[in-house]
Amino acid sequence: MEIYDFSEEELENFHKKIGKNVKKYREEKGITQMELAHAIGHGSVGHIAKAELNKYGKRFSLEQLYKIAKVLDIEVSRLLEGNKD
């Protein structure tokens, strides 16, 4: 099998889209970043805020995406929408 060369830009765009989707669905549900952070077991809003904006290398883990989807009552796949080429 051929090894695919993923560019840094491609991966960065992938994570940015996930962050935008988390923010979009969170806001649609009327949930603040702090409320979401607490709901998934974080004591502060920092990681959520940074991961939504893809700042300082912060990204959502698979476990966090699973928990976020449960809190927002959506399928995890909705957080990945728009990431297909």
Where are the chain's structural domains?
Answer: 8-79
What is the tens place of the pLDDT at every residue in 60-77? 999 999 999 999 999 999
pTM given for the model: 0.90
How high is the pLDDT of residue 84? Answer: 53
How much is the average pLDDT of 35-48?
A: 94
How much is the average pLDDT of 23-33?
A: 97
Q: What are the backbone angles phi and psi of residue 19, rounded to the nearest 5°?
A: -60, -40
How high is the pLDDT of residue 85? Answer: 43
Q: Token match 């300082």: residue?
A: 56
The structural architecture, per CATH, of the domain 8-79 is Orthogonal Bundle (1.10)
User: Taking 70 as the threshold, does the pLDDT of residue 57 lie above it?
Assistant: yes
Q: Quick one: CA torsion of 75, 77, 35, 73, rounded to 10 degrees?
A: -10
How high is the pLDDT of residue 74? Answer: 98
